[in-house]
A and B are shown apart, each in its own frame.
Chain A
Amino acid sequence: MNKKIAKKSNIRILDGNQAAALGAKLSRVQVIAAYPITPQSPVTEKLSEFVERGELDAQYIAVESEHSALAVCVSASMVGARTFTATSAHGLAYMHEMLHWAAGARLPLVMACVNRAMGAPWNILNDQQDSISQRDTGWIQIYARNNQEIIDSVIQAYKIAESIYVPVMVCYDGFILSHTEMPVDIPAQEDVDKFLPPYKPHTVLDPANPRNYNLVTLANPRVNSEGVLCHGYMELRYLLQEALQNSKETMIKVGQEFGQLFGRNYANMCWEHRLDDADVVIVAMGSLAMEATVAADMLRKAGHKVGVLGLRVFRPFPKTEVVKVLKNSCLVVVFDKNISYGLEGATCSEIKAALYGSPVRAAIRNFIVGLGGRDIKARELVDAVNRSLLSMKEGDLNKESPEWICDI
């Protein structure tokens, strides 16, 4: 812990939704647009309460849909307002078009995504299928492992987004975090103000300097009325990819600054648990990765050298960090609370892709767990690792398909 913490701690018992709402409030958001959906609804209620009590000087727009929620945020952001929205599952899916639009327009929106399963059939409980399904929309995705990380990530998200003009999604597990109370150290407003400067928009919506944003753009560069060659659609897409690729540097810098001011360092893309001498590494995201630390400790007691790699950031995907962390591993067990139908869990694919061309030659196992809120216990993770170790010893380096921890 850094000793130069600006303010003494202010620890309260908060659930994840309260932490997200407080994070937005401390970031002094100016326009909030949201539509209720389980398990995100308390975020919308809390923020409305802040606004109605006069504790937060913001416009709260109670829209009729998530599509409109994000459309409000996009246009308000273009005018120059800092915006916030929150959603889950079907709400996020309904935003899909606007997710692309926000990133394409290079607007620094921040949203909380309370991870929930997608229908059909209806299910309101947790998995990560919703946000994983949106991974190619050009948003940065951060996955919080506890409520402290939710509030801290929301505040950092604004600084990241507004530095590089890329929107950020802060994801956290529905119910497991959203409705579970735990101690959270709430940053002081004056410190957040020091950390987070006011938002400077890249757009000018002024009749004295009229400009037309996001109109039809051809694939090839084209000259403007002054004869200057301007980017085509393809160049604009390249720049978005470049921004995402380079965003790691900004995220680490912002995480470091946050650590210096608040004593909680986020200068990393992923976090580690007992990895130093580990030859078996469990990989997971969000609260599942916390569960995995319990499993790793149990496996350690049984004599295995097991550690955990917790993916904090999914986009941009931390390829070099993953390779570095996994360099001494002989077995990597990836637990996914999502499934890319017809292939495997999304994080497993990403890990495999990251390892391509690297010297790491570990066996990789993928387990699909916890879909639709299916309970997953540390001992089940332990069993999965033991099974993987056994099959590896039998010379089985690879498995064609992911294994499911369920009753089929």
Chain B
Amino acid sequence: MKVTAANLTEKEYLLPGNRTCPGCALALAYRHILKALEGQVIVTVPPSCLTVLHGMYPVTSVAIPCVNTPFASTAASASGLVAGLKALGKRGLTVLAIAGDGGTHDIGLQALSAAAERQTDFIYICYDNEAYMNTGNQRSGSTPLGAISGTTPILGKQQNQKDITAIMEAHNIPYIATANASHPLDLYEKVKKARAIQGTRFIHVFIPCPPGWGFSFKDTIKIGKLATETGWVILYEIENGVFRLTAASQSIAQRGSLKSLREYIQGQGRFKNITEEQIAELQRWVDARWKRCMARAGNSYSE
């Protein structure tokens, strides 16, 4: 049965009254992630916006068991949870490591790479708001070219983001997916699918951030959808090496046209100082990646 907003699990694991900013896409994504796992999960989380969402002792906004872990150690913490559960013979629980882009692309990459290389049996979700938002918006390895941040305050970032999903694919893990908080049911289905797979599973979730990116909090879904429509985000999954476009990206591929990236860029304050050359460079980057994905989506079965 296809999952729709109407038949989604009613039980909530993310409780009302959390401490996210208005219009936070993470709250939306996390709600669907936890629903897909039906609460049968132990979460480990490094310092990030999610820590803020989780609340302050002795009150928390989530109804799932959770451990907090230092910044660099998310995937190692997950490895410890997995090993501990295995040593004690406890089965049936998914270990979920969930970290931001700073905690994944930057400080957490070493531990993540090693956990994936060990084929640790866990789901790793990177929720990517493209900068260190919890500390007030400093550039990360995922901040796009031309974006203003606390540490690229005038000129904007001079380099584009790294392709974390490609990095993870190089680890030969059984399941990799990209998702976007603005397409929550696609995210839900991917987490649900990942839950049933053994080994390291990696999901990258795009998280539009109203205060960090400089757009109105009512526009979170709109900006997220624009990201998919322009190809800034491509929704796909790679299951045992087989690449497949999903949801809106699949429809766009079938219809065959991306919107201009400019439409996505112009609605965000963080790009206010971006140059024409930078926009052109980003557009070339998006086009090339889209082309590669289209080719893979068409060819992977025949390879």
- Please report A residues at the B interface, Cβ cutoff 8 Å: 30-31, 33, 58-59, 61-65, 67-69, 71-81, 83, 97-98, 101, 204-207, 209-218, 222-225, 228, 230
Contact = CB atoms under 8 A, between A and B. Distances in A.
A49 to B, nearest CB: 18
Given A31-B80, A67-B72, A71-B70, 11 more contacts: A31-B84, A58-B87, A64-B114, A75-B67, A75-B77, A76-B83, A79-B80, A213-B66, A213-B67, A214-B67, A224-B59
Contacts of B54: 212, 215-216
Nearest to B74: A71
Interface stretch (B40-48, B188-196, B223-231, B250-258): B40-48
Interface of A is mostly: mixed
A98 B46 CA distance: 13
B76 A67 contact: yes
Interface in B82-121: 83-88, 90, 93, 110-111, 113-114, 117-118
Contacts of A83: 80, 84
Closest 3 CB pairs of A and B: A75-B80, A79-B84, A64-B114
Interface of B: 39-42, 44, 51-52, 54-60, 62-70, 72-73, 75-81, 83-88, 90, 93, 110-111, 113-114, 117-118
Nearest to B83: A59
A139 to B, nearest CB: 16
Given A210-B64, A224-B58, A31 B77 contact: no
B113 A64 contact: yes
A205 B56 contact: no
B169 to A, nearest CB: 19
Given A72-B79, A75-B78, A216-B56, A64 B87 contact: no
10 contacts: A31-B84, A64-B113, A71-B76, A72-B77, A101-B69, A205-B81, A210-B64, A211-B60, A215-B54, A216-B57
Contacts of B73: 67-68, 71, 98
A31 B51 CA distance: 27
B84 A30 contact: yes
A79 B56 contact: no
Contacts of B64: 207, 210
